[in-house]
Structure 1
Amino acid sequence: MTIRKIQEFQKIHYDLSLLADPNKDLIKDYTKRSVCFDLILNETIIGILILLPTRPETLEIVNVSVSKDYQGQGYGEELIQFALTHAKKNHYKTVEIGTGSTSFGQLYLYQKCGFRMISIDHDFFLRHYEEEIIEHKLILRDMVRLSINV
């Protein structure tokens, strides 16, 4: 397994990004301002991590995803731990992440990695996404924001 900086965004990177964020326009916007990494296993790109500096000393994980065939095997946690190490090495103090209030698996993973809930952005997904998102038979409305000090 290797995590490397992405030099040029390719179709596989967009495909992986869309697993975590169905808004192509948002992805195109934030990747321009971010540092991006991919996770390679046996010469196959299976994951992506996109980090965006948001405020002084704060880095946000704006996208982290793993190919469906490799989910549930610890690769998402590897990417998050890589992000925390990268943040510390680059003198960031805080790492933030946001996810859907109905994204139970992601909420579990982020808290398992030490993130704590800090706020709720009410109706975020209704404001920023044209199509309704359904998770676990629930309409996704709110973004839960989490952070960790590194």
Structure 2
Amino acid sequence: MEIRLLKKAAGLPMDLLLEADPSEGLVREYCSNGFVYEAAVDDELMGLYVLLPLTDGIVEIKNIAVAEDARGQGYGKRLIQHALYEAERLGFGNVEIGTGNSSVDQLMLYQKCGFRIDSIDRDFFTRNYPEPIFENGIQCRDMIRLVYTF
């Protein structure tokens, strides 16, 4: 798998980005202010992530998504490892990531990759998304914030 920085002039793979975040407006905003990395095997898009600098020392993984037919094969973990490598290479000391209270698989993966739960933003999803989001039979209401420190 090759992971590369997507050039700003290239079109965004919106279908995949919207699988991780259903707000096209928010996705376009943080993609324009951050770095979009795509992972491909033989030029077939397998996944992507977005790094968004927040301060001089903190960067956030804003979006991480794996193509549906590539899930369960370790691509998500490899994307996170690459994001951590890039964040450290770029000089950031902390990497943040947020996910919904209903995203149990993501919560498990992030913790396995060394992230620690830092805070909960109650009602984040009900405040910021017009339509209710359901995942794993649970309404996604709260943003669980995790942090990785080098």
TM-score (normalised: structure 2): 0.96
Segments of 5+ residues of structure 1 without an aligned counterpart are none
What is the CA-CA distance between 1:10 and the residue it aligns to? Answer: 2.5
Deviation >6 Å, runs of 4+: none
The reply to whether residue 112 of structure 1 matches residue 112 of structure 2 is yes
Q: Show CA shifts across 1:61-100 (max 9, x none).
A: 0000000100111001111000110111111000000000
Segments of 5+ residues of structure 2 without an aligned counterpart are none
The reply to whether residue 131 of structure 1 matches residue 131 of structure 2 is yes
TM alignment of 1:10-21, pairs within 5 A: 10=11, 13-21=13-21
CA-atom RMSD, angstroms? 0.9
Aligned residues: 149
What is the CA-CA distance between 1:139 and the residue it aligns to? Answer: 1.1
Distance 2:103 2:33 in 1: 25
Distance 1:41 1:100 in 2: 29
What is the CA-CA distance between 1:9 and the residue it aligns to? Answer: 4.2
Name the counterpart of 1:145. Answer: 145
Q: Secondary structure in 2 aligned to 1:145?
A: strand
The reply to whether residue 68 of structure 1 matches residue 68 of structure 2 is yes
Counterpart AA for 2:69: D
TM-score (normalised: structure 1): 0.96
